[in-house]
């Protein structure tokens, strides 16, 4: 039997929100209302996340997947009630491949990867049983409402989540300090910017905090508007274009960064993009 505390740790960051840290640096969020709870993302699919979550809350809960990437959705098969945007199905299927999962963990965990056992992997499934999750959906947890918003770009169906009463926006991988926007599933910069503008219009003045899916999980509330402006810089060619290599991909970092991936020009947020898709 897997030890639920081997791969995960958590911290309470508000009365209703617990941040869960996964083994590859991925972050998940457990949102608890008065009546039920929601787990946002399920990590890499290594370790007994379900038991870990059920040690935190005794409320009935369900899972919302922000997108289908290997570090966000691979633990989903362990849960009974899972929601995912149907536009993420192809991404999910691709990243469910065992070699993709193994390769990502080996790259992300470094020396500690040697401690991962074969039986620690959650078996994959097709995702066909997952319920539809679309922008505009609202989930009532009892005193807390989760409003599903747009965020596509990093992947074709990525969603963001507004915690209405908490005045918090979970941007996740949609818009962050080092947003990947270059693989075969990513949208072009123009389409991505359009979605961010829609998100900004929908949520402006409705949140004071921003949560991300990597790093320490926190970001300034100006993150969204800063990356929208950066998209405009990319389209206009006002970029540093630092070459970036990730697995088999070659891309460009829009603005130069320090060793902590923070922009040297003082801007908030960055994009790693493919030049061929800027106008798409």
Give the pLDDT mean for 35-43. Answer: 98
- Domain assignment of residue 123, given as a range: 9-176+190-221
For residue 20, tell me if it sits in a domain.
Answer: yes
What are the φ and ψ backbone dihedral angles of 105, each rounded to 5 degrees? -65, -40
For residue 256, tell me if it sits in a domain.
Answer: no
Spatial separation of the C-alpha atoms in residues 31 and 260, rounded to whole Å: 29
For residue 172, tell me if it sits in a domain.
Answer: yes
Are the CB atoms for 225 and 233 separated by under 8 Å?
A: no
For residue 171, tell me if it sits in a domain.
Answer: yes
For residue 66, tell me if it sits in a domain.
Answer: yes
Spatial separation of the C-alpha atoms in residues 172 and 27, rounded to whole Å: 9
The pLDDT score that the predictor gives to residue 1 is: 56
Burial class (CB in 10 A: 0-12, 13-18, 19+), 164: middle
The pLDDT score that the predictor gives to residue 2 is: 63
For residue 84, tell me if it sits in a domain.
Answer: yes
For residue 238, tell me if it sits in a domain.
Answer: no
Q: Extract the tokens encoding 81.
A: 């009630």
Lowest mean pLDDT among 9-23, 27-41, 56-70, 96-110: 96-110
What is the overall mean pLDDT for the chain?
95
Which secondary structure element, helix H or strand E, spans residue 251, and what is its range?
strand 249-253
Number of domains in the chain: 1
For residue 3, tell me if it sits in a domain.
Answer: no
Among residues 244, 271, 235, the alpha carbon closest in space to that of 255 is found at 271
Q: What is the pTM of this model?
A: 0.96
The pLDDT score that the predictor gives to residue 247 is: 77
Q: What CATH number has the domain bearing residue 26?
A: 3.60.15.10
């Amino acid at each position: 039997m897997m030890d639920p505390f081997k791969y995960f740790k958590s911290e309470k960051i508000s009365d209703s929100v617990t941040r869960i840290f996964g083994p590859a640096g991925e972050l998940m969020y457990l949102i608890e209302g008065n009546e039920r709870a929601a787990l946002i993302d399920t990590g890499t699919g290594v370790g007994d996340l379900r038991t870990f979550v059920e040690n935190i809350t005794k409320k009935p809960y369900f899972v919302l997947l922000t997108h289908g990437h290997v570090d966000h959705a691979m633990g989903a098969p362990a849960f009974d009630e899972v929601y995912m945007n149907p536009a993420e199905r192809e991404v999910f299927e691709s990243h469910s491949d065992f070699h993709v999962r193994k390769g990502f963990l080996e790259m992300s965990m470094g020396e500690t990867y040697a401690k991962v056992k074969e039986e620690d992997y959650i078996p994959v499934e097709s995702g066909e049983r997952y319920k539809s999750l679309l922008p505009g959906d609202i989930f009532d947890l009892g005193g807390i409402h989760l409003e599903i918003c747009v965020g596509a770009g990093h992947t074709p169906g990525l969603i963001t989540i507004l915690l209405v009463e908490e005045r918090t926006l979970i941007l996740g991988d949609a818009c962050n300090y080092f947003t990947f926007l270059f693989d075969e599933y990513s949208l072009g910069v123009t389409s991505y910017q359009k979605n961010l503008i829609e998100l900004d219009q929908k949520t402006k003045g409705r949140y004071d905090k921003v949560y991300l899916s990597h790093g320490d999980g926190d970001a300034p509330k100006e993150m969204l508007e800063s990356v929208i402006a950066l998209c405009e810089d990319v389209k206009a060619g006002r970029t540093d274009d630092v070459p970036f290599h990730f697995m088999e991909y070659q891309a460009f970092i829009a603005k130069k960064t320090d060793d902590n991936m923070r922009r040297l020009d003082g801007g908030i947020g960055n994009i790693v993009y493919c030049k061929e898709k800027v106008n798409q």
